[in-house]
Each structure stands twice: as structure tokens, then as C-alpha cells.
């Protein structure tokens, strides 16, 4: 396990020596510097985790050293050492980025606790920064697959909206089109990226609980409110709140949401204090809000308040150019997740995927690819790996009785049989055994017909 490095900066030799001895006994790697100039030199060379920095130094003073350390690496934790009665300067140092300060003469045990807590805080900050970086990478615009003009236009708009100060955005589109993905892209491409992204599905929370989830509540506000609870408005302060399926929100809650949007303040349930918030609210729905307004199920004033910037996500059937790039993206994702090695999609499978209507949109496509990668062992995704529903709907056939009408002039039965053999071979990509099973024929009977019609 790597030892944490601590740089002790003080012009008094005895203080440096005593600190070094104490810190080494605690398992730290320790360096010393008697001046600000030496401190800056060692900081650049050794990249310490913590700098114990005396404010009163000869030459460059401690505040100037602090400023230069933070310019070099803001992640370095600086704890100021100050003489008794110079607390004002120490407070100024904390405003400049110092983590904490200790006063001389200091207790070594207390200093050990301060250092331990500072390191824990530093590790936590690194973990949070790493998590946010991973989230930004995962949900940024560069990770959204698009091969169609429709989606290119949507992503261009998302990029502009993310970089703007727009406080309310409405995303509309069918279920499964990726509305939450777009909401996250808006957040992670914005200046709010270092603040929280909070989400709630308004259709999944009962009306009686939704207000408490959004606003929070005070202790004793209702029977089970044994403690104070912060709501999502408060937890998302500075960041983004995503209200999914806002069309399912009850009228009473709509009125309260409208007030928050207009006033940018709210009160916890059972509270009297107005709490200001600065957050971006992204709403989404798969419903026709204008129709809901006509039915008196959605407030007109709220509709015009949330759709300051409307974004429409077209269904997958209207952007067929996205289907194969998305499928390939999901194949790569599930290869990693399930340790598989699917390398591509056959021409026939790609044809059926592209021609299918995808009523479940991107979510349905993802599920189809996941199933194929998990269950099949070939290196290529073949037509036979697709659900029967896709093959039947795309080929224009249905389960049950065959939908075929005899033309008035009649037809040669052998022409029908020849065409069925051709289609079976086509959808089976030349695999005779699979083609025979599709026509409920034995392999010998199928090969007889292949030979009869010149396919063998």
C-alpha cells in the first residue's frame, strides 16, 4: 500500500524535526522545507498529498505559496500552520483553498486527527470526481449513437441547450426512444456537470407521496414523518432535476410545480420557510400534452412553462439509419458484459432489423440484441437469432392460418411451392436444415424440392 506523502514547511528547525518524527511513526513519508521557495520546488518534484504550511515564512509568505500550490495542483491538501492570534489570516487562507488550519503550539495527537480526516476527505473528493468523470463520459453526447439526419438535428439542439442557461426543457417522444438519455446528456454537457442529476418517474409515485419526494418534509408533517427529509428540489440544487412522465402528474401537484418554476422557491411539506433553489428542470412525456389539456388533465399554464425549449425524439421506425449502428453498439456493450465475441450482423439479419417497425423503439432493439448475445454462440448475429415476432412481422406473415387469396385466374401450385422454398432458403441464409424446419419438412423432402426447382 502506497504511503501518503506529507511536506512540512516551517522556518523553525525544531518544529520541522518534531513533526517529521511524529508523522513518520504514523506511517507517512515526510519531506521538509524551510522556505516558500523550497516548498514550491519540492511540491513540483514530489507531488505530496498534504502540505503543512506555515503562514509566516521568510521570502515568499505562506499565502503566496498556497496560491502557487493550488495553481500547480488544486488536489493537493494544504493545512495552514498559524501563530496564536493570527486566525484572520488563516481564515483568508481557507477562502483561498486551504483545507484547514492549526495554531501553534499544537497538540500532535490533534494534528494526527486533522491529517487523517483531511486524507479521508481528499480520497472522497477523488472518488466523486472520478465518478462524475465516468458519468460524463458515459452520458455525454459523444456516447449517443446516431447515423440519421433526424438524430443529428436532435443532438445539435441538445448541445446548444446544454450550454445555454435554459431553466426548463421538455422532451417528447414515444416510450423507449431514449428521453432520459437525452436528459442526462443535457446535464453532463452543461456547466452544471459537477452538481447532482436527480430523476423521478411521476407515474411510478402515488400522488400522496410525490409532493414529499419533490419538496421534502419537516419532522411531524404527517404520521410517519419522524425526521426532516430533503426533497429532490433541494437535493438537485445547482444541478438538474428530471421529471419523467410528467403527463401523469395529478393536477394538484402540477399547480405546486408551476409555483416552483415561477418563484424558484418552495416549502417543505409541513414547513413555513421558503427555500430558494437554482436548478434546471427537464421534463419528459410520451403523451400528447395538448390533448391532455383539452381533456382538462393537464394545466395549460404549466405546459407553456415547461416547454420553453421543446425537444422531440423521433421513433426508431422514422430513423432506420440508426438501427444497425445502435445494434452494433449494443453488441459491443454486451460482448464486454457477458464475455462474448459476436463480431457483426449478417446481411439478412440486418435487412430484417432495418425493416422491422420497432414499436418498443431503442429499448426493444437493445433487449433483442442482449437476448441474442446471451443465448447464441456464433460470432455473427444471424436471422435465426432474432425473435420470431420480428421475422414474421417483417416478412409480412402472421401466426395462424396463412393469409393468402387464390387469384381469380388461378395459380400453378408449383409456382407457390417454388417461391416458398426460395423464401425459406433466403431467411435461413442458405442453411438447408433450418429452411426445412421453417416449412415443417424433413430434410430429405426439402432437398427433393430444392432439386426439383433447381436450387440444388
CA distances from 208 to 18, 156, 202, 205, 330 (A): 62, 39, 12, 8, 39
Which DSSP helix (H) or strand (E) runs through 284?
strand 280-285
What is the rounded CA–CA span in Å between residue 197 and residue 242? Answer: 8
User: How much of the chain exceeds pLDDT 70, in percent?
Assistant: 96
Which DSSP helix (H) or strand (E) runs through 261?
helix 251-263
Q: Matching CATH topology for 145-314 and 413-452? A: no
What is the rounded CA–CA span in Å between residue 241 and residue 232? Answer: 7
**How much is the pTM?**
0.71
**For the chain, domain boundaries:** 5-131, 145-314, 318-395, 413-452
Q: What is the CA radius of gyration of the chain?
A: 33
Which DSSP helix (H) or strand (E) runs through 29?
strand 29-33
What is the rounded CA–CA span in Å between residue 47 and residue 6? Answer: 9
266: closest CA among 237, 305, 295?
A: 237
- CATH superfamily, domain 145-314, is P-loop containing nucleotide triphosphate hydrolases (3.40.50.300)
Give me 218's grid cell: 419537516
Q: Write down the pLDDT at residue 409.
A: 75
What is the rounded CA–CA span in Å between residue 292 and residue 286? Answer: 12
What is the rounded CA–CA span in Å between residue 152 and residue 145? Answer: 10
Q: Write down the pLDDT at residue 175.
A: 95
Q: Write down the pLDDT at residue 177.
A: 95
Fold of 413-452: Arc Repressor Mutant, subunit A (1.10.10)
244 half-sphere exposure, CB direction, 13 A CA radius? 19
Phi first, then psi: what are they for 309, rounded to 5°? -125, 105
What architecture is the 5-131 domain classified under in CATH? 3-Layer(aba) Sandwich (3.40)
Q: Write down the pLDDT at residue 446.
A: 87
Q: Write down the pLDDT at residue 133.
A: 77
Give me 164's grid cell: 445555454
What is the rounded CA–CA span in Å between residue 102 and residue 81? Answer: 5
Burial 399-428 (b: 16+ CB within 10 A, else e): eeeeeeeeeeeeeeeeeeebebbeebbebb
The verdict on domain 318-395 having CATH code 1.10.8.60 is yes
pLDDT along the chain (456 residues), means of 10: 90 92 93 94 94 90 93 92 76 90 86 92 84 81 88 94 95 95 96 94 92 92 86 96 97 96 94 94 96 96 96 94 95 94 92 93 96 90 86 58 62 82 86 85 84 86
Contact 126, 294 (CB under 8 A): no
Q: Write down the pLDDT at residue 105.
A: 83
Q: Write down the pLDDT at residue 404.
A: 57
Amino acid at each position: 500500500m502506497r504511503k501518503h506523502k506529507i511536506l512540512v514547511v516551517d522556518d523553525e528547525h525544531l518544529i520541522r524535526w518534531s513533526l517529521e518524527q511524529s508523522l513518520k511513526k504514523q506511517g507517512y513519508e515526510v519531506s521538509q522545507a524551510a522556505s516558500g521557495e523550497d516548498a514550491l520546488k519540492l511540491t513540483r518534484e514530489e507531488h505530496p498529498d498534504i502540505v503543512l504550511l506555515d503562514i509566516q515564512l521568510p521570502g515568499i509568505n505562506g499565502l503566496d505559496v498556497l496560491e502557487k500550490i493550488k495553481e500547480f495542483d488544486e488536489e493537493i491538501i494544504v493545512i495552514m500552520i498559524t501563530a496564536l492570534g493570527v486566525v484572520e489570516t488563516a481564515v483568508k487562507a481557507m477562502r483561498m483553498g486551504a483545507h484547514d488550519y492549526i495554531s501553534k503550539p499544537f497538540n500532535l495527537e490533534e494534528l494526527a486527527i486533522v491529517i487523517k480526516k483531511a486524507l479521508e476527505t481528499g480520497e472522497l473528493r477523488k472518488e466523486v470526481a472520478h465518478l462524475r468523470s465516468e458519468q460524463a463520459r458515459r452520458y455525454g453526447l459523444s456516447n449517443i449513437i446516431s447515423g440519421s439526419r433526424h438524430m443529428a438535428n436532435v443532438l445539435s439542439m441538445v448541445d446548444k441547450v446544454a450550454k445555454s442557461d435554459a431553466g426548463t426543457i421538455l422532451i417528447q417522444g414515444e416510450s423507449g426512444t431514449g428521453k432520459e438519455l437525452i436528459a442526462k446528456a443535457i446535464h453532463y454537457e452543461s456547466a452544471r456537470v459537477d452538481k447532482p442529476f436527480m430523476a423521478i418517474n411521476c407515474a411510478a409515485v402515488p400522488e400522496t407521496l410525490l409532493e414529499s419526494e419533490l419538496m421534502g418534509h419537516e419532522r411531524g408533517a404527517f404520521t410517519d414523518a419522524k425526521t426532516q427529509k430533503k426533497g429532490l428540489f433541494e437535493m438537485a440544487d445547482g444541478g438538474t432535476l428530471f421529471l419523467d412522465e410528467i403527463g401523469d402528474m395529478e393536477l394538484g401537484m402540477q399547480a405546486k410545480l408551476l409555483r416552483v418554476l415561477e418563484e424558484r422557491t418552495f416549502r417543505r411539506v409541513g414547513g413555513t420557510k421558503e427555500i430558494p433553489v437554482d436548478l434546471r428542470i427537464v421534463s419528459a412525456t410520451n403523451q400528447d400534452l395538448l390533448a391532455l389539456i383539452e381533456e382538462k388533465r393537464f394545466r395549460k399554464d404549466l405546459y407553456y412553462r415547461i416547454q420553453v425549449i421543446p425537444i422531440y425524439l423521433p421513433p426508431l421506425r422514422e430513423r432506420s439509419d440508426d438501427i444497425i449502428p445502435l445494434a452494433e453498439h449494443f453488441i459491443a456493450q454486451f460482448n464486454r458484459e457477458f464475455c462474448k465475441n459476436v463480431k457483426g450482423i449478417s446481411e439478412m439479419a440486418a435487412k430484417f432489423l432495418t425493416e422491422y417497425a420497432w414499436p418498443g423503439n431503442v429499448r426493444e432493439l437493445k433487449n433483442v440484441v442482449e437476448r441474442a448475445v446471451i443465448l447464441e454462440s456464433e460470432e455473427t448475429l444471424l436471422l435465426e437469432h432474432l425473435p420470431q415476432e420480428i421475422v414474421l412481422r417483417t416478412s409480412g406473415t402472421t401466426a395462424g392460418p396463412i393469409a393468402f387469396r387464390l387469384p381469380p385466374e388461378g395459380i400453378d401450385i408449383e409456382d407457390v411451392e417454388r417461391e416458398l422454398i426460395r423464401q425459406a432458403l433466403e431467411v435461413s441464409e442458405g442453411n438447408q436444415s433450418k429452411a426445412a424446419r421453417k416449412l415443417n419438412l424433413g430434410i430429405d423432402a426439402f432437398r427433393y424440392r430444392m432439386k426439383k426447382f433447381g436450387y440444388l
